């Protein structure tokens, strides 16, 4: 529960956000903002945090979106010079979307859909390091969910090829996603936006081959069997 909740009267801020109406990133103006703060004392010290509730308006089309940004004293990172920087959890409503990075999740597992949504949100917010790692996690989820054999992601991706789900070119590209995902996690090296969009296209092929295509085929056959029996 917040200890204080106040409205910021003096606001003059703009930021680049994904606009669902424009279907691209545009400059948004901050129109209103409230901040809730909390503080708790414990035996080993105090913890604290705050949440910013912000209303933004797109500068290109006037569409409005809402952003919630939460900070917690125990969720932080260190800059290169050693300065502590709190890492916020950010959520945008409605969730950002784009024609450039979209998945067909018609028949995919709910846990995979949740992971994909988190990755797309990171990408829409230009958090390319997080999106890079998340794309690797999406590939890892798929090979695990489809029971690919092998120890480690490299071997499991190879098994996708062995089973005939990807060709040689797709195999090499999936290894690129794995390698760049590793670099994102361990060295904080992000894919470019173009690389992310290309990787998403490749994963979409996997979703079609392993989930959506077979499920649609099963539906068609089921309906056909029912029709010809009647």
Could you read off the pLDDT of 117-169 as tens digits, one per residue?
A: 888 878 877 788 899 999 999 999 999 999 999 999 999 999 999 999 999 99
pLDDT bin (cut points 50, 70, 90) of residue 218 is: confident
DSSP structure class, residue 208: I
pLDDT bin (cut points 50, 70, 90) of residue 23 is: confident
pLDDT of residue 72 exceeding 90, the answer is yes
Residues of the chain with pLDDT > 90, as a percent, come to 53
Distance of CA 99 to the CA centre of its chain: 15
Sketch the domain layout of the chain as residue ranges: 1-97, 98-230
The tokens for 101 are 């990075």
Give CA separation, 118 vs 56, 82, 89, in Å. 21, 28, 11
Q: Give the burial class of 34: count Cβ atoms within 10 A of its Cβ; 0-12 exposed, 13-18 middle, 19 or more buried.
A: middle
Q: Give me Rg for the CA atoms of the chain.
A: 22
In this predicted structure, what is the pLDDT of residue 228? 87
What is the tens place of the pLDDT at every residue in 24-68?
Answer: 889 999 999 999 999 999 888 899 999 999 999 999 999 999 999
In this predicted structure, what is the pLDDT of residue 99? 56
pLDDT bin (cut points 50, 70, 90) of residue 14 is: very high
Do 142 and 119 meet the contact criterion of CB atoms below 8 Å apart? no
In this predicted structure, what is the pLDDT of residue 38? 96
How many residues in the chain? 230
What is the tens place of the pLDDT at every residue in 154-211?
Answer: 999 999 999 999 999 999 999 999 999 999 888 888 898 788 888 988 999 999 999 9
């Amino acid at each position: 529960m917040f200890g204080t909740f106040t409205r910021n009267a003096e606001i003059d801020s703009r930021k680049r956000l994904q606009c669902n109406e424009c279907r691209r990133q545009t400059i948004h103006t901050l129109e209103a903002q409230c901040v809730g703060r909390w503080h708790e004392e414990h035996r080993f010290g105090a913890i604290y945090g705050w949440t910013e509730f912000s209303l933004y308006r797109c500068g290109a089309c006037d569409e409005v979106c809402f952003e919630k940004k939460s900070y917690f004293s125990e969720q932080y990172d260190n800059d290169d010079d050693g300065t502590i920087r709190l890492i916020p959890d950010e959520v945008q409503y409605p969730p950002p979307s784009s024609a450039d990075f979209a998945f067909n999740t018609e028949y995919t597992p709910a846990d995979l859909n949740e992971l994909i949504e988190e990755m797309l949100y990171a990408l829409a917010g230009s958090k390319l390091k997080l999106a890079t790692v998340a794309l690797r996690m999406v590939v890892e989820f798929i090979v695990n969910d489809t029971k690919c054999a092998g120890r480690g992601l490299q071997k499991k991706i190879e098994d996708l090829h062995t089973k005939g789900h990807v060709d040689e070119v797709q195999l090499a590209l999936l290894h690129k996603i794995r390698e760049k995902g590793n670099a994102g996690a361990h060295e904080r090296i992000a894919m470019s936006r173009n690389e992310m969009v290309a990787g998403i296209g490749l994963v979409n092929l996997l979703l079609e081959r392993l989930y959506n295509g077979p499920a649609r085929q099963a539906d068609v056959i089921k309906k056909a069997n029912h029709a010809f029996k009647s």
